[in-house]
Amino acid sequence: MSDESKGAGDGAAYDIAKIMAALPHRYPMLLVDRVVSLRPDEEIHAVKAVSFNEQFFQGHFPGRPIMPGVLQIEALAQAAGILAVETLDLAGSGKLVYFMAIEEAKFRNPVEPGVLLDLKAGFVQKRARVCKFWGKASVDGKVTCEVNFTAMIADG
């Protein structure tokens, strides 16, 4: 198995079962539906299928449903969490990846129901206990959110 497909078997995308094995999140807070590609030590491309049935659309906003920006950042952080778990070989270790800081968040376009939200994240800096990431969310090539964030690896 090549380094490029590490954690992805023969290079196939992660399905929801493999995502749930990497992340502690569950419905309604699991915001990654599929991993398209993962390059350990570098970056991840994941997808969130944004459905009208999402709980947050009931109140954000009635008549004009838009995915909250903070949930776009959470989805990016979860994708980065999968990248960290695979890169640092944390699966089954009892370790969790916790937010420490969110910086330079910019929201460019609204995310509405019925789209596939592309989530791309990568390492800016990687240490044993603290990692910095960049993240970019987009729909059909149009950027919806850009952010830098820091996460800590700690006991669960």
Catalytic site positions: 60
Domain boundaries, the chain: 3-155
Residue 9 scores a pLDDT above 50: no
Multiple choice CATH, 3-155, 3.30.360.10, 3.20.20.70, 2.40.30.40, 3.10.129.10: 3.10.129.10
Q: What is the pLDDT of residues 82-123, one digit of tens each?
A: 999 999 999 889 888 999 999 999 999 999 999 999 999 999
Q: For residue 31, with 0-12 CB atoms within 10 Å meaning exposed, 13-18 middle and 19 or more buried, which class applies?
A: buried
Return the closest-CA partner of residue 138 out of 152, 120, 151.
Answer: 120
Return the closest-CA partner of residue 156 out of 115, 95, 113.
Answer: 95
Maximal CA-CA distance, the chain:
49
Residue 2 scores a pLDDT above 50: no
pTM of the shown model: 0.91
Rg (CA), the chain: 15
Over range 56-62, report the average pLDDT: 93
Residues 6+ positions from 89 with CB-CB distance below 8 Å:
none
